Amino acid sequence: MTVLKPEPRGYPGNLGLLFAEHAESSRTAITDLRDPERPRPWSFRELDAACDACARGVVRCGLKLGDRVGILSLNRVEFVIALLGAMRAGVVPVPINVKLSADTVSYILFDSAARLVFAEPESKRLVPGELRVVEFGGRGPDGFAPFLDSGSFQAFEPVLDSVAIQCYTSGSTGRPKGVLLTHYGQNWSRRILAHTRGTTERDVILVAAPLYHKNALNAIKQGLTAGATLPLLPQFSVERYIDAIGRYRCTVISGVPTMMAMVLARKDLLNNVDTFSVRTVMMGSAKSSPQLLTELKECFPNAEPLVVYGVTEGGPVPLGPHPEGKASPPGSIGMPYPGTEAKLVGGSEANEGELVVKNPGVLLGYHNLPAETADRLRDGWFYICRRDEEGFYYFVGRNDDMFVCGGENIFPVEVETLLERHPAVHQALVMPFDHEIKGQVPYAFVVLRTGARATEEDLKQFALANGPAYQHPRRVFFLQQLPLAGTNKIDKQRLREWVVKGF
């Protein structure tokens, strides 16, 4: 395998031009599946013209270099056009989770000093009244079509520290923080992802994760860079996802493990589509259990699971395939990409500890948070990981996921992996809950396999028999499926509320 020569600060050029090599092609770049009855294919040429028109519209309405614009929408081609068009004009897009509360959306728009918001009609209500809204699909003067200004556009030429995009963290540990990612750094990221994953013009990459999250943004950047075709679902739906795999003969499917577990639970639908076209199943944002990986191989026999993990601030994906093409062991999150420095710190021995990474894609800083920027850029991004003798890394858990039960450290993923070894368990989630004596104890939320049966006591005894006693779940709740939040991760806050209210 040819290895890209890493540049210490990334690669020059405007990120909004990421598919410049294919801009004159009549091949399909994106198929917008928002309307299931009328899929809308967009060629690279058509997409390029629309991005230029959006850039011209941004300039025409008075926005300057470095200004911010919010994007508040489910997946649709206009989201991509607004994202790349703003970048071409040197304006910084701020993608926002549509499932956030109005207060949090207002906070992000205020914190970023957004001057304009692109929004769908359904999410328009979340935008403070004083901000101008350009409405996707709108027919009036504030609609997206009238905003566009057709014609060619000379894209802004970034310098080393020019900000391309300002994503926001989930706010799980406080207020959401604006993450400043540069054109140079994200040009490195998109190229290294497309290159090391072997993405080509022949690939068809299904995208259903939300575009305001790094998982889908990476798929879009990687796919368009390589000239691939991207069927784009407005949001994740098991039925539509499985249908799209067969209908478009997808070669790459992506999402978080929760999505894949929900897909695998619908064998009745999977058995009616051709899954042999799929060569890669990309999963990130959470740990993938051995059981999930085994079932994926059974249902997608020609595919290799690609398990990735990262944070928005860190590149966002610091680890990938072996540089010489050697197969990754099951469950591994890979090895450092060319240009990535990685080390384990604070462990009991050299091959365990917290993973610290550095690469050209690492954030420039947090928006308006100089103290936190200095702290993070000094210390890096931490996960609890281990490394095998060949240099492959394995994710153990986030350091802020760990909790203490009666003096013992518990990582939820270890209990989940144990429970998913039970023959009746399809999926498990473990969370800590307060306990007057132990401090915190694990509770488990379980989805059983179709037709399988198990009781709360069955699973408690299984955990006690196969793992340390302190790890066994003190309560077990059975669900038809785990609830999803806006990023298609599991909605843990809703589960907490259900427990408090007694389900």
Q: Of 72-81, 193-202, 301-310, where does the model show the most confidence?
A: 72-81
* pLDDT over threshold 80, residue 64: yes
By mean pLDDT, which of 208-212, 324-328, 378-382 is the weakest?
378-382
Residue-level pLDDT at 293: 86
Question: Across 284-437, where does the E strand assignment appear?
Answer: 304-307, 319-320, 332-336, 341-346, 352-358, 365-366, 384-387, 393-397, 403-405, 408-410, 425-435
Cβ distance 404 to 438 under 8 Å? no
The mean pLDDT of 281-310, rounded to a whole number, is: 83
Q: Which residues contact 322 (CB under 8 A, 6 or more apart)?
A: 328, 334, 335, 392
Q: Which two tokens stand for residue 92?
A: 């910084």
pLDDT, one tens digit per residue, over 315-360 is 667 788 887 778 888 778 888 888 888 888 777 778 877 777 888 8
Residue-level pLDDT at 380: 56
The topology (CATH level 3) of 15-387 is Rossmann fold (3.40.50)
The mean pLDDT of 383-398, rounded to a whole number, is: 74
Pairing of strands 393-397, 304-307: unpaired
pTM equals 0.81
Domain positions in the chain = 15-387, 403-501
Q: How far is it, in rounded angstroms, from Cα 332 to Cα 392?
A: 6
3-state secondary structure of 484: strand
The mean pLDDT of 179-183, rounded to a whole number, is: 95
By mean pLDDT, which of 30-39, 248-257, 351-360, 451-460 is the weakest?
351-360
The hierarchical CATH code for the domain 403-501 is 3.30.300.30
